[in-house]
Amino acid sequence: MVKFFAKRIGVLFFTMLVVSFLVFVTFEFSSGDVAVSALGQFATKDQLQKYHEENGLDRPFLDRYLSWLGVVPDHKNKFSGLLEGDFGYSHLWRTQVNTFIWDRLRNTTMLALIAFAIIAPLSIVLGVVAGMREGSAVDRVISVFSTITTSVPEFATGVVLMTIFAAGIIMPVMLPGTSTLDTGGDWSIASQLVLPIATLTTYYLGYLVRMVRASMVEVMTRPYVRTAILKGLSFPEVVVKHAMRNALITPFTAILLQLNFLFTSVVVTEAVFAFPGFGRMIVDAALYKDVATVETATLFAVFVVVTSQIIGDFTYMLLNPRIRFS
């Protein structure tokens, strides 16, 4: 067990290193120049040159990467990199990444975890209930419902929810239409989170419900379920003890994949509600060619991705004792 986790934590750090290098390489070889983004289209060559020199962008590629890591000194001859706890300078926000990344991280974690805490159990319950009696009325209702919510893109869901609850046209204004997480107004943070989370839940729930349902339907036709029914176990007991354990292995992977997704890619929902999270920050920074911000965000993403895989593998072992990772 200790070896299982030790090995995977080693893998975590290795992946972080590989990913951070790849991100640097990608930025190096993609078109665009951060100096142009910072100074504007009409900056002269000299101005661009000066910006490059002042920010140490004129140094060779490896030099910049290693100094960002903190193993060689930067252009000011100072060790200030990842190893020293410094994520670097963000050209887009014109400040150190450390100054704003923790706020963003907290916001995104809050949004992702709350949404996940709603989506995961709800999808398992709905999926199992729908799948345990294929073709029943309950199954039909859940299936149709999940198909519809998944078919409507999240910006449409977001705007519809906003129109209903926040615009004051259909109903009196009950919730704020944006969630900038600014408590200066009349709305508490909790009330600002309701609509974004409802949007995410509506959009991603259907997919998981259908995954769990498909898996459950299949398991319910297996011989051991028939045996369990025939030997006189009550139906809830058959479902919970015999069917669910086996039905949850594949959906569990899908559920954990959602966590990755919620953490890094809720760009659209963030844009609709002006939510200060990771997704939009990454896209903005990427388009600006602000490498330090993207690097930092990606490191946190690696952590989430690898952790979700460790949890996944560990849970497979719990769900099915025949699976063993030596």
Could you say which residues in the range 194-213 bind another protein, by CB under 8 A?
206-207, 210-211, 213
**Which residue of 5, 6, 28, 32 would you call a contact of another protein, by CB under 8 A?**
32
97-136: which residues touch another protein (CB under 8 A)? 133-135
207-246: which residues touch another protein (CB under 8 A)? 207, 210-211, 213-215, 217-218, 220-221, 225-226, 229, 235
Q: Report the 10 Å Cβ neighbour count for 148.
A: 11
With binding defined as CB under 8 A, does residue 159 bind another protein?
A: yes
Those residues with Cβ within 8 angstroms of residue 289's Cβ, 6 or more apart along the chain or in another chain: 27, 30, 32, 33, 34, 37, 91
With contacts defined by CB under 8 A, name the span among 73-81, 93-101, 148-156, 183-191 that binds another protein.
148-156
With contacts defined by CB under 8 A, name the span among 51-59, 92-100, 141-149, 183-191 that binds another protein.
141-149
CB closer to another protein out of 80 and 309: 309
Residues near another protein (CB under 8 A), total: 78
With contacts defined by CB under 8 A, name the span among 65-73, 75-83, 101-109, 296-304 that binds another protein.
296-304
Q: How far is the CB of 54 from another protein (least distance, A)?
A: 26
**Identity of residue 41:** Q
With binding defined as CB under 8 A, does residue 316 bind another protein?
A: yes
Cα three-residue angle 219-256-223, rounded to 5 degrees: 10
CB closer to another protein out of 72 and 122: 122
With binding defined as CB under 8 A, does residue 37 bind another protein?
A: no
242-271: which residues touch another protein (CB under 8 A)? 249-254, 257, 260-261, 264-265, 267-268
Select from 113, 155, 93 the least CA-distant residue to 296: 93
Alpha carbons 153 and 299: distance in angstroms, whole number:
28
Alpha carbons 97 and 87: distance in angstroms, whole number:
6
With contacts defined by CB under 8 A, name the span among 15-23, 52-60, 83-91, 110-118 that binds another protein.
15-23
CB closer to another protein out of 74 and 316: 316
CB closer to another protein out of 2 and 230: 230
**Which residue of 278, 288, 290, 293 would you call a contact of another protein, by CB under 8 A?**
278
CB closer to another protein out of 80 and 297: 297
With binding defined as CB under 8 A, does residue 23 bind another protein?
A: yes
**Which residue of 151, 188, 227, 234 would you call a contact of another protein, by CB under 8 A?**
151
CB closer to another protein out of 74 and 295: 295
Alpha carbons 87 and 74: distance in angstroms, whole number:
13
**Identity of residue 31:** S
Q: Residues 175, 181, 182, 183: is their CA dihedral positive or negative?
A: positive
With binding defined as CB under 8 A, does residue 323 bind another protein?
A: yes
Q: How far is the CB of 201 from another protein (least distance, A)?
A: 16
- Token representation of residue 211: 């995954």
Q: How far is the CB of 275 from another protein (least distance, A)?
A: 14
